[in-house]
Structure 1
């Protein structure tokens, strides 16, 4: 059975697929969006091309990842999640939320990407605090922009800028993660200028409550 656990258990069966080192981080990158091999390699420093090839092959064989051609480039392949792979979104976000509490200042020198903020904000949502007011919040994290849409008590996420958001938050990627991990309070970040907020005070409060920052 190779490295498989050989247990008649759903958790063990899941870990047979995603339990090896780097595998979930490959899934994390594809939860952000489809990517080419070189893009994945660049965004996962330390994995190495051979190991990335192995992980993508295994995930493809297991039906978690799919390949598609790239228009205008017959040799290139675009990797994305299948329906089964997309089902990992909420478990991965839950694990990311759990892991935030273990970050400390010694981790701050590690790699950080603005795109991870797109997933981090999804992981931070407190379902019981979703506003009953339809809002759009815009986040500008380093060189990435993404949005949270609140509609009819549900939350939706999109990348890119939005016209007339109720709230705009700007910061760099590491500051965003430090605030999410509780290493820096939103008030400290605003006072030092590391976080810049534009919007109505009521929208600021609604968004802060929804992200568990108050």
Structure 2
């Protein structure tokens, strides 16, 4: 068994931090929330972690039942890491923490790594349940090479990967701009005016989407 920090407290929060409280661990979980990932891809997507530390973090998560190893489909020799059902339960709290943390980003953080795939998690973190539109419509986002969507139907919100036919609103931008808007470093209007964001669709749909994401 790996050596791990133990807070020595009979408390649920302390118990959670015993498992996911080490540096880099929640960022590993973030990557796996996007989908099963190979070790080499994790190294590439988490610049600065180092292979030995990543191995240690993955081992601890596997031993805790949060992560499991799987065969890569179509390649019987390769392995990838994926969240177990217990690990998937981290989705809502991690998204809530990510949404909460956007307010602390500043220009000094802008030189850090960013990935288009993080946008799919970011929109889920940003949705305000009390501002979901009454209208049934679909918003598509193209962040660099990644395409994902938010669908509103009957007051419920669902998220999808890949393009959708005839979205009511289509938004296109680069990852840096996407994060800047989410962090309130740039307003949607400023981004559109500068050409950093390109939109297709009605003004009414854009206003409803902006409001639902807490950006109005």
Distance in 2 between the 1:121 and 1:182 partners?
14
Alignment partner of 1:143 out of 132, 140, 145: 145
Distance in 2 between the 1:65 and 1:8 partners?
24
Is the 2:140–2:169 contact (alpha carbons within 8 Å) kept by the matching residues of 1?
Answer: yes
Counterpart of 2:101?
A: 99
Q: Does 1:50 align with 2:70?
A: no
Q: Does 1:15 align with 2:22?
A: no
Counterpart of 1:27?
A: 29
Alignment partner of 1:162 out of 143, 161, 164: 164
Is the 2:138–2:168 contact (alpha carbons within 8 Å) kept by the matching residues of 1?
Answer: yes
Q: Show the 5 A alignment for 1:163-202.
A: 163-202=165-204
Distance in 2 between the 1:210 and 1:51 partners?
39
Summarize deviations over 1:123-162 as a string: whole Å, max 9, x none: 1111100112211110000111111111221111111111
SS in 2 for 1:101: helix
Distance in 2 between the 1:197 and 1:82 partners?
37
Is the 2:35–2:82 contact (alpha carbons within 8 Å) kept by the matching residues of 1?
Answer: yes
Alignment partner of 2:63 out of 61, 64, 73: 61
SS in 1 for 2:148: strand
Counterpart of 1:125?
A: 127
User: Structure 1 residues 3-12 or 48-57, which shifts more?
Assistant: 48-57
Distance in 1 between the 2:79 and 2:156 partners?
34
Stretches of structure 1 lacking an aligned partner (at least 5 in a row): none
Deviation at 1:73, TM superposition (A): 2.2
Distance in 2 between the 1:131 and 1:23 partners?
35
| Distance change (3 Å), C-alpha of 1:9 and 1:138 | same
Counterpart of 1:37?
A: 39
Distance in 1 between the 2:178 and 2:22 partners?
28
Is the 2:169–2:205 contact (alpha carbons within 8 Å) kept by the matching residues of 1?
Answer: yes
Deviation at 1:2, TM superposition (A): 5.0
Count matched residues: 214
Counterpart of 1:70?
A: 72
Stretches of structure 2 lacking an aligned partner (at least 5 in a row): none
Extract structure 1 runs of 4+ deviating beyond 6 A.
Answer: none
SS in 1 for 2:215: coil
Alignment partner of 1:79 out of 67, 73, 81: 81
- TM-score normalised by the chain length of structure 2: 0.96
